[in-house]
Amino acid sequence: MRHLIKILIIFLVILFFVPVFVFSDPYLNKITKTIKLKDGELKYYITYKGNRDKWAEYIMQKSRDFLIAAEDYLGLNFPKMDVCQIKARDKIYYNDPDSKLQGIRIGGSNFAGYIGIEYDLSKMYNPALLFHELGHYWFGQIYLYGEEETTCLIEGVVSFLPVAMANLNFLTLDEKEYYSLFQHWGISWVEHADDPALQTDFRWQNNEERRSVYYLKTFKLQYYIYKELGKEKYKEFLIETLATSESEDNIDEIIIRLNKLKKTKWRKLLSGWLFPGKYKEVSPSSLYNRNIKGSNKDNAKNNS
Ligand SMILES: [Zn+2]
């Protein structure tokens, strides 16, 4: 009888713990904020695990600042939605069985109704990837299934957007955060003479290094366009890009748009970067070892 009671107790204990184990959510921690945007109030959630309350507050604050600043800078409201959610994860993989990218670690995402960010790639004072993913709410949806050759512009724009916004004082970033945007997108990385041009989306080649090069190059491409156009005209360029319909979304149209804003030899300038061929006007090493810290904001201003 004693033996039977012991077994019964063990059974009850198992019965109690198994569902807790199976159904407990490791991302139980959650913070919520209502962000007032132009089109109304947005409920914003961040779910995360462990002892990261300070980090989550930081991500919340930066999200809020970015959304409000981007609405002003781009003159276009955040897409109407009731809820926006960030799910923080240790690792984020691409999950679409029909895609060539299936199973590839991507570090951040904006699909399936939420934004995914990895803790280690979005540390405190490095909001680069968070801003990139939030930028896709403006630049991304209409281009997602558009022409492959212009995808690189969109990917670069969402990485560079916070720099452009900060330089016109729409977005306030401290020196460390501002610097982190350039570091995150590899401003010091030197392209090789034979790197593929961005006109072909070479992320699909299933090569992790190539995938990184793609994103680093897209940031630099925007940097050069920005330097050439200047901060005000670059803003116009982005606003016009947003107003462009998908059918007009091709490289020729983009060069026409750029020429309207500033007549210059865009094809020569962007050779090797956007267009296949040798690097011509802008060499791959032109940004190597550049000391951005402290002086870059002024450099960017001077160059504009
Ligand atoms: Zn992206």
pLDDT tens digits, residue range 30-88? 999 999 999 999 999 999 999 999 999 999 999 999 999 999 999 999 988 888 999 99
- pLDDT, tens digit (0-9, with 9 covering 90-100), for 116-166: 999 999 999 999 999 999 999 998 754 444 567 788 999 999 999 999 999
Residue range 96-125: mean pLDDT, rounded: 88
Q: What is the pTM of this model?
A: 0.85
Per-residue pLDDT tens over the stretch 229-268:
999 999 999 999 888 876 667 889 899 999 999 999 999 9
177 neighbors 125 (Cβ within 8 angstroms) = yes
* Whether residue 272 sits in one domain with residue 193: yes
pLDDT-derived band at 19 (thresholds 50, 70, 90) equals very low
Ligand 1 center from residue 134 Cα (angstroms): 9
Name the nearest CA neighbour of 149 among 237, 269, 270.
270
Looking at residue 247, its amino acid is S
Determine the distance separating the centroid of ligand 1 and the alpha carbon of 24, expressed in angstroms.
31
Q: Ligand 1 center to residue 39 CA distance, Å?
A: 25
The CATH number for 106's domain is 3.30.2010.30
Are residues 153 and 125 located together in one domain of the fold?
no
At residue 86, φ and ψ (nearest 5 deg) are: -110, 130
67 and 92 housed in the same domain: yes
Residue type present at position 170: F
* Residues forming a β-bridge with 116: 87, 109
pLDDT tens-digit map of 263-295: 999 999 999 999 999 999 998 888 765 555 443
- For residue 118, the CA-to-ligand 1 centroid distance in Å is 14
C-alpha of residue 173 to centroid of ligand 1, in Å: 21
What size, in residues, is the chain?
304
Q: How far is the CA of 141 from the centre of ligand 1 (A)?
A: 11
Mean of the pLDDT values across residues 214-221?
94
d(Cα 102, Cα 261) in Å, to the nearest integer?
39
7 in any annotated domain: no
Question: Confidence class of residue 27 from pLDDT cuts 50, 70 and 90?
Answer: low
User: Rg of the Cα trace of the chain?
Assistant: 23
Mark whether 79 and 57 lie in a shared domain: yes
CA of 221 to the centre of ligand 1 (A): 15
- Two tokens at 200? 């072909």
Binned at pLDDT 50, 70 and 90, residue 220 comes out as: very high
Res 200 pLDDT > 70: yes
Q: Which CATH number do you get for residue 252?
A: 1.10.390
CA of 255 to the centre of ligand 1 (A): 22
128 & 222 share domain: no
Q: What is the pLDDT of residue 230?
A: 97
Distance 9 CA to ligand 1 centre (A): 53
Q: Are residues 179 and 212 in the same domain?
A: yes
- CA of 109 from ligand 1 middle (Å) equals 7
Q: What is the mean pLDDT of the chain?
A: 84
Segments forming the whole domain that contains residue 232: 148-304
